[in-house]
Amino acid sequence: MRGAGAGVSEVLAASAVAGRVDAFQRALLSWFWRERRELPWRGVGDPYATWVSEIMLQQTQVVTVVDYFQRWMARFPDVAALAAANEEEVLEQWSGLGYYRRARFLHRAAKVIVEEHGGELPSTLEGLRTLPGVGPYTAGAIASIAFGLPAPIVDGNVIRVFARLFAIEGDPRSTANQKSFWGLAEALVDPQNPGDFNEALMELGARVCTPRSPACLLCPVREFCAGFASGEPEALPEVARRSAVKPMRAVAVVVTRQGRRGKELLVGPRDAGGLLAGMLEFPTVEREGKRWPKLDEVASLLGMKVVAEEVGELTHVFSHRRLLTRIFAAEVGSEATFADERWRWVPERELSQAAISALTRKIYERSKQLETT
Ligand code: ADE
Ligand code: SF4
């Protein structure tokens, strides 16, 4: 096993890429130029578009991102438009993509760019890194793809490709291995085509060098690959042990009324903290552990008693939580008012455009299924 001491130059020297970096770059790039997908953020030459797409792509698959990206660019075509929007509009556009912190960071960073950089994204790695939510990956992606700088980037796909190409064993998240991955990315990036090279590595990981069954026979860099030579490429990278998933229980009440605008639903911003802070949701009480909150606890959130009927239960898995939600439905009179002014009525037909999370959407769908009976 390669220990913490192995530097990048030793790793490279011991590999089939040694002395053939040019050939490696050419093999990867010509594959990419032949096979790359046409994606709406490719080749547009707009650093803002690169930034938005890379943030979206961090935790979401390409096929899903395409639509979101196009809608986002139509609504916020440039940094100034994003900076001028309010948070609710921004979250609305992100609604369903998950990890809403990403949207809040984009929004905050847009304001910083307008206020401190005259509306233009900084064009150096260091400058990009000063923006909220821009880490080494995003800075490297923008620098290489939008500004043509020979900056390295490492994401999950690159880690998998490198672990196999260079037979890097051990936990890929360890400090020593992270240093190797970043060092390799820096040593290998093609200074003539840094953006394409980086995208090619990620695309190879996404489409050829896949986690369970890499298509080595179609791989443009097979001849350089230690994993392929070993006959067992899928054995690397080592799979990290999964961290414990915490159980959580929630009770949500979908309160409806017949209002002036037809059927309306009661929603309010989720209170402080957590990944979904600020998103709109139905009145909900949730807690850690396996004990169910009581319906009365939701009633006291509302400041009034509601007659509610249980309509279903669903499970939603977040990164480290498994949340079971019991769903109740309650219909109230059209004059109903609530003590707490965070609650407001949203017409049913506007709900799908509102800043709601995927979970709230699921709760709504579930509450509707029972209505038709
Ligand atoms: N995954 C994240 N960013 C990507 C990009 N620019 N091209 C291909 N896959 C990606
Ligand atoms: Fe991945 Fe196989 Fe290509 Fe090696 S040869 S990089 S394991 S697809």
Strand residue runs (E) in 274-358:
280-281, 284-288, 309-317, 321-331, 344-347
Higher pLDDT: 215 or 98? It is 215
Q: What is the pLDDT of residue 1?
A: 41
SS3 343: coil
Which of 184, 210, 216, 232 best tests ligand 2's pocket when mutated (most atoms within 8 Å of CB)?
A: 216
CA distance 94 to 322: 22
- For residue 85, CA distances in Å to 40, 90, 239 come to 23, 7, 41
Are 215 and 222 in contact by the 8 Å Cβ rule? The answer is: no
Ligand 2, residues at Cβ distance < 6 Å = 161, 164-165, 208-209, 214-216, 219, 221-222, 225, 227-228, 233
DSSP 216: G
CA distance 313 to 311: 7
Catalytic member of 10, 35, 38, 54:
54
Nearest ligand 2 atom to alpha carbon 208: 8
The residue whose C-alpha atom lies closest to atom 1 belonging to ligand 2 is 209
Q: Is the pLDDT of residue 372 over 60?
A: no
The residue whose C-alpha atom lies closest to atom 2 belonging to ligand 1 is 57
In this predicted model, what pLDDT tens digit does every residue of 71-95 receive, in sequence order?
A: 999 999 999 999 999 999 999 999 9
- For residue 344, CA distances in Å to 185, 341, 359 come to 50, 7, 19
Lowest pLDDT segment from 36-40, 151-155, 318-322: 318-322
CA distance 196 to 81: 28
76: CB partners within 8 A, 6+ apart: 82, 85, 90, 93
In this predicted model, what pLDDT tens digit does every residue of 309-357 receive, in sequence order?
A: 888 899 998 878 899 999 999 988 888 777 778 899 999 999 988 888 8
> What share of the chain has pLDDT > 90, as a percent?
73
Nearest ligand 2 atom to alpha carbon 214: 8
Q: What is the pLDDT of residue 311?
A: 85
Q: Is the pLDDT of residue 371 over 70?
A: no
Higher pLDDT: 339 or 5? It is 339
CA distance 339 to 337: 7
Q: What is the pLDDT of residue 166?
A: 98
What the chain holds in terms of domains, given with CATH numbers, is: 8-235 (1.10.340.30), 246-371 (3.90.79.10)
Q: What is the pLDDT of residue 347?
A: 94
In this predicted model, what pLDDT tens digit does every residue of 264-280 receive, in sequence order?
A: 999 998 875 666 777 89
Taking the CA of 205 as reference, the closest ligand is 2
Q: What is the pLDDT of residue 357?
A: 85
Q: Supply the pTM of this predicted model.
A: 0.73
199 labelled catalytic: no
In this predicted model, what pLDDT tens digit does every residue of 155-194 receive, in sequence order?
A: 999 999 999 999 999 999 999 999 999 999 999 999 999 9
Mean pLDDT of the chain: 91
Higher pLDDT: 25 or 343? It is 25
- For residue 37, CA distances in Å to 22, 96, 100, 152 come to 24, 24, 27, 22
Are 254 and 329 in contact by the 8 Å Cβ rule? The answer is: yes
